[in-house]
Amino acid sequence: MDSKKEIFRFTRRQFVTSSAAVLATSGLAHQANAITSVAGKRSEQGQSNGRSDGGIGRGPFRVIIDTDPGVDDALALLLAMRSPELKIEAITPVAGNVPLDLTLPNALRMVEIAGRTDIPVAAGARAPLMRRLVTATYAHGENGLGGAVFPEPTTKPVATPAAEMILQIVRKYPGEVTLIAIGPLTNIATALNSDPQLASMVRGLVMMGGSLSGGNITPAAEFNVYVDPEAARIVFQSGIPVTMVGLDVTRRTSLTDEHVRTLEAAQNPVSQAAAKIGRNAINHNRERGYLVGPNMHDSLAVAGFLDPSILKFQDYYVDVETTGELTAGETLGYTPVGGDLRRRPGMEKDAAATNMPIRGSAPTLAGTKTSPVLRDKFVPNTKVAVEVDSSKFFDLLIGRLSGSK
């Protein structure tokens, strides 16, 4: 079996093994070995159905989708609900692109459109952990769906709050549940704050968020991490094996008129709804003179979980800037070859490189810290998506939504 197909499904033990293997590699070989290191290690949960079309068709994998719909969230939810590989245990809306009063009904609308009212929807946080909510109506419209209007949902959320729901489900299926987080990480951090054991009980976390190549809401920060940087920091530092699908790859997922025409042509409710949202979002962007997008950021995180061959990864230690006046929400990716002193080819194989400490800013005179060292040596905590096969992604997204795949 192609080991790339296993990349999202690594267990905690495999993550540690792969991380150790990565230390002995370099450049793209570094990444290839990261992938190789999980080769042949089968997921405990998902089993192949014998298909060989790029990793899709396996499972089902238990997931919880944490989301702030959101144009691209809405399509990501529809994609997930049309994907037999996923056993969606819950959807947990959070405030982000628009306030919770809109993300919650938008999520409920999507489960109704997909005919999946069997999936519990649990209301999450109304505000970030320590900040005022900043929304992204400039990108998603006032209603969060690019202005596309759907009837009020009749389905109700469950009574259990999102963070509690996450804990209950993960405790029920220890080691089996993957969190797919496509909004600010407030709900996940709240669950971790309430029970840090959660980190050792989840299978992993796949997030759309962050960037190692500049932000979209500030030059430094990607929106989801910008909205709740403290929550993101808790998640990255929790010990959960994180897969980060950030702007480095999601910038290459611009929805086009042609995609929308394909969706419009398919006569099923999911495709029609996706087309309506996509058409409105494209018009929204054009009216404002935006040159690109709407990008299908969140669908790429889901698609990469369904078919990891869509993405390529590199191991990093990722941390989040939380105190910067201009840079809060920036994600920093450390590698053994990440500093000028470490750039000699092959040096990443040396203990000298991997033993280099991970440094933060120099301590201030006013503070209590005396050392900038955050970690004594390089230990990766995140697989960062660094390359994307955009056409393969859109084949999967549009194919699933339109019902042709």
Instruction: Give CA–CA dist 227/135, Å, rounded.
Output: 8
Beta carbon of residue 35, minimum distance to ligand BDR (angstroms, whole number): 25
Query: Would you count residue 243 as binding ligand BDR (CB under 6 A)?
Result: no
Residue least distant from ligand BDR (Cβ): 223
Contacts with ligand BDR, 294-323, as mask; x by CB under 6 A? ---xx-------------------------
Token pair for residue 405?
């795949």
Contacts with Ca ion, 38-77, as mask; x by CB under 5 A? ------------------------------x-x--x----
Q: Dihedral of CA 285/290/291/297: which sign?
A: negative
Q: In what order do the strands lie in the sheet with 242-245?
A: 86-93, 61-67, 178-181, 204-208, 242-245, 382-388, 311-320, 331-334
Query: Would you count residue 308 as binding Ca ion (CB under 5 A)?
Result: no
Tell me, yes or no, if 30 is annotated catalytic: no
Please choose, out of 112-120, 150-158, 165-173, 174-182, the segment that lies near Ca ion by the rule CB under 5 A: 174-182
Contacts with ligand BDR, 71-110, as mask; x by CB under 6 A? -xx-----------------------x-------------
User: Which residues on neighbouring strands pair with residue 333, listed in sequence order?
Assistant: 318
Instruction: Give CA–CA dist 88/73, Å, rounded.
Output: 15
Query: Would you count residue 182 as binding Ca ion (CB under 5 A)?
Result: yes
Q: Is 217 left (phi over 0), alpha (psi -120 to 50) or beta?
A: alpha
One-letter identity of residue 283: N
Strand intervals (E) in 249-310: none
Beta carbon of residue 76, minimum distance to Ca ion (angstroms, whole number): 8
Query: Would you count residue 223 as binding ligand BDR (CB under 6 A)?
Result: yes
The DSSP-derived string for 19-62 is HHHHTT--HHHHHHHHHHTTTT---SS-B--S--STTTT-B-EE
Give the residue, chosen from 108, 110, 139, 303, that forms a contact with ligand BDR under the rule CB under 6 A: 139
Number of residues this chain uses to bind ligand BDR (CB under 6 A): 15
**Residue whose pair of structure tokens reads 């201030």 in the numeric block:** 364
Q: Is 41 left (phi over 0), alpha (psi -120 to 50) or beta?
A: beta
Query: Given the DSSP bridges, would you call strands 204-208 and 331-334 parallel, antiparallel or unpaired?
Result: unpaired
Query: Would you count residue 224 as binding ligand BDR (CB under 6 A)?
Result: yes
Query: Would you count residue 222 as binding ligand BDR (CB under 6 A)?
Result: yes
Between 106 and 354, CB nearer to Ca ion: 106
Query: Would you count residue 70 as binding ligand BDR (CB under 6 A)?
Result: yes
Between 216 and 280, CB nearer to ligand BDR: 216
State the catalytic residues: 297
Give the binding site for ligand BDR (CB under 6 A). 70, 72-73, 97, 136, 139, 182-183, 208, 216, 222-224, 297-298
Contacting positions for Ca ion (CB under 5 A): 68, 70, 73, 182-183, 298
